[in-house]
Amino acid sequence: MTRIAVLGTGLMGAPMARRLLGAGFAVTAWNRTRAKAEALIEAGATVADAPRDAAREADVVLTMLENGEAVGAVLFGPDGAAEGLRPGAVVLDMSSIPPAAAREHALRLQALGAAHVDAPVSGGTRGAAAGTLAIMAGGAEETIAGLAPVFAPLGRALRVGPSGSGQLAKLANQVIVGVTIGAVSEALLLAAAGGADPAAVREAIRGGFAESRVLAEHGLRMVERDFLPGAPSRVQLKDLDTALAAAAESGAALPLSENVRARYAELIGAMGGAEYDHSALLLELEARTGKRLAPGPDRLPG
């Protein structure tokens, strides 16, 4: 039986661990807040005291952490997973981190006799629970092919290139999501400001060229003014910052991303919206234009 260590059992890591347990894998969980890992015991998981301990018997070490600094610390810091890796183990980093950091981790792990795949995901908490995540994998072809049974309960995995490429694909995803949230916000505000029913407009344009999951799901959040987080705005901002840094490194220009990034920075800084769902970009645009999309109270965290 393949043994998997899941390091990071928060909003995404916990349902992913449950999917793996349901598929029959032996899972050892670790989380900085131990209670979040212990919540998986009833589903069959074992809980480790440190990343090193979780990795000691694992064939695959799966990380789902907030940023590159957290991944680096959990892998290579004191009591880090690298201290307990078995020869031939695979570190499967499903976090969203800078591509350069993923490439560095791959080199450091290779020197220790371990393989590395960066495989960030899209699909949110709903996709994690349902096993329908889009998984963008970067690394050696044979290593990614060998992980097919692990990917299967989680979603659809596709190799997009060598180490770091998975992170580039995730950044492309986040650019599309962020810019599209901005476009949907502006479009529905345009309709409401002119006297149309924005809820009806959203339904009318669905199925045409403007159709997207952002229009379907986040557009509904906007109309219903439901900004309880699936994906917090601070994470969207972090990913846009990473995308812009990667663009600068490669000489690409992303002016639309720069504009949307500034809107998210305003939402988070001036409006205190760090934990609002990223569809709450609408609130910044409403404040800027003095127009309101729909009546009723806003559902906000806290």
Q: Dump pLDDT digits (tens) for 38-56.
A: 999 999 999 999 999 999 9
Q: Hey, where are the domains in the chain?
A: 3-162, 168-289
Q: What is the CA radius of gyration of the chain?
A: 20
Is 170 annotated in the active site? Answer: yes
Residue entry with tokens 């096993």: 131
Could you report the per-residue pLDDT of 155-196, keeping only the tens digit for each?
999 999 999 999 999 999 999 999 999 999 999 999 999 999
Fold of 3-162: Rossmann fold (3.40.50)
Helix (H) or strand (E) holding 47: strand 46-47
- Other beta carbons within 10 Å of 228: 14
CATH number of 168-289: 1.10.1040.10
What is the average per-residue pLDDT within 269-287?
97
Return the amino acid letter for 74.
V
Among 36, 170, 238, 291, the active-site one is 170
What pTM did the predictor assign? 0.90
Nearest to 293 by CA among 204, 217, 210, 188: 188
pLDDT of 64 higher than 90: yes
